[in-house]
Amino acid sequence: MNHSSEVIKQVRELLIISGVSEGEALEEMVDHYLCDIESQIGQNISPQIAIRKTLQNIARTDYSYQANAKRTNRSLLVAIMGLMLLSFMVYKVAIETKDNAPIEFVQNIPVLHGWPLEEAFTQISSKFGIRQHPILMSSVLHKGVDIKAKIGTSVLATGDGVIKETGFTEKAGKYIIVEHNARFSSRFNHLASVDVSVNDRVFKGSMIGKVGNSGMSTAPHLHFEIMDDNQHVDPLTYLMPNL
Amino acid sequence: MDSNKKFLNGTLNTIVLALLKDNGKMYGYEICQKAKTKTDNSILLTEGAIYPTLHRLEKEGLIISSKEKVNGRTRKYYSINVSSIQEVNSQIHLLSQFTGHLRALLNLST
């Protein structure tokens, strides 16, 4: 299978940004990730999702084992990642519109999420991925990130959207789900208060609730999730710093 | 998965050698896939583990590499260095012997 030179270029550039130095090792890694994309497509995953997953995987991987790997500022990397994904999607849209592709695709472009709290400098207390649950004491997928914050800190919508659901469960505590478009939604758990109602229109930066410690939680924090095509993704690879 | 990682630390070299000996010429991604399918998805070799190992084994002269053009890109294949086959065999033998001892010890304590 032949990848478009655009995909190869993106994989190579992201690897360089991530600290892999140019040369034989870089070519080997490029081949590795293109194989990864091909293998996913072979399992009936759509090329766009396969490419996105692989790019996210590259952004997450630590290449410091490489002899002359440079340490790169992570937030810069995340920002560049976001821009690359956006440019890739726009590029795809451009191609597909030319072929009279359905226009709804335009509404599926990734949301460049803002920071979910009014305070910019907060500590991530637990990342996305498999972890030992602090209360259940078993290995489970942590579907979002935990951001440490004081009770009462304002929780902000990370992108424009509509409130799809609010409520309370024993596990999540008070929660809010925001639908951004046909593809993306985000979820906020363990809130002290929910300050919006279902079907409310919200904008990036709108205050929607307050940080709390409700539900199955050991300390005040915000649990924040992003869903892409109904699949949980690592929010840290989608969050853009509030500029 | 974390405990797998701990065990892999000391054994990855030998696992890679055994896979290459069994399959002849392989590239990095193929080795990861092979390890995955052979172990019912339990052993997932990450790129952060496999490539440093391959590069080290090549430096030590136990394996050799060659390049081929595939789909317009360069693919690096690795295979056992025939002149080191005795060393490779002995490493594989030592690890499988050790695995046997481990099994005996673990059974004893249950």
A68 and A42 in a common domain: yes
A128 and A97 in a common domain: no
ipTM of the complex: 0.84
Partners of residue A40 in chain B, C-beta under 8 Å: none
A100 and A130 in a common domain: no
A147 and A76 in a common domain: no
The answer to the question of residue A114 being in a domain is no
Among the candidates A52, A79, A108, a domain finishes at: A108
pLDDT higher than 90, residue A229: no
A165 and A92 in a common domain: no
Residue A176 sits in which domain range?
124-237
The answer to the question of residue A118 being in a domain is no
Would you tell me which residues 8-37 of chain A have a C-beta closer than 8 angstroms to some C-beta of chain B? 8, 24-25, 27-32, 34-36
What share of chain B has pLDDT > 70, as a percent? 95
B72 touches chain A (CB under 8 A): yes
Partners of residue B36 in chain A, C-beta under 8 Å: none
More confident residue, B110 or A219: A219
A72 and A133 in a common domain: no
For tokens 């992003």, what's the residue?
A226
B48 touches chain A (CB under 8 A): yes
Confidence of residue A8 (pLDDT cuts 50, 70, 90): confident
The answer to the question of residue A117 being in a domain is no
Among the candidates A108, A134, A154, a domain finishes at: A108
Domains along chain B with CATH numbers: 2-109 (1.10.10.10)
Residue B24 Cα, gap to closest chain A Cα (Å): 19
B70 touches chain A (CB under 8 A): yes
A101 and A132 in a common domain: no
Residue B49 Cα, gap to closest chain A Cα (Å): 9
A163, A176 in Cβ contact below 8 A? yes
Q: Please provide the average confidence, as pLDDT, over all residues in chain A.
A: 79
* A29 with B51: Cβ contact below 8 A: yes
Per-residue pLDDT tens digits for B25-47: 999 999 999 999 999 888 888 88
Q: Please provide the average confidence, as pLDDT, over all residues in chain B.
A: 89
A71 and A25 in a common domain: yes
A153 and A98 in a common domain: no
The answer to the question of residue A115 being in a domain is no
A66 and A38 in a common domain: yes
Interface with A, mutate which of B5, B26, B56, B76 (most A CBs under 10 A): B76
Per-residue pLDDT tens digits for A164-223: 999 999 999 999 999 988 888 999 999 999 999 999 888 888 899 999 999 988 899 999
Q: What is the CATH number of the domain that holds A129?
A: 2.70.70.10
More confident residue, A88 or B88: B88
Number of domain units in chain A? 2
A173 and A84 in a common domain: no
Among the candidates A108, A136, A164, a domain finishes at: A108
B73 touches chain A (CB under 8 A): yes
Partners of residue B51 in chain A, C-beta under 8 Å: 25, 28-29, 32
pLDDT higher than 70, residue B92: yes
The answer to the question of residue A98 being in a domain is yes
Task: Compute φ and ψ for A128, nearest 5 degrees.
Answer: -70, 140
A9 and A97 in a common domain: yes
The answer to the question of residue A91 being in a domain is yes
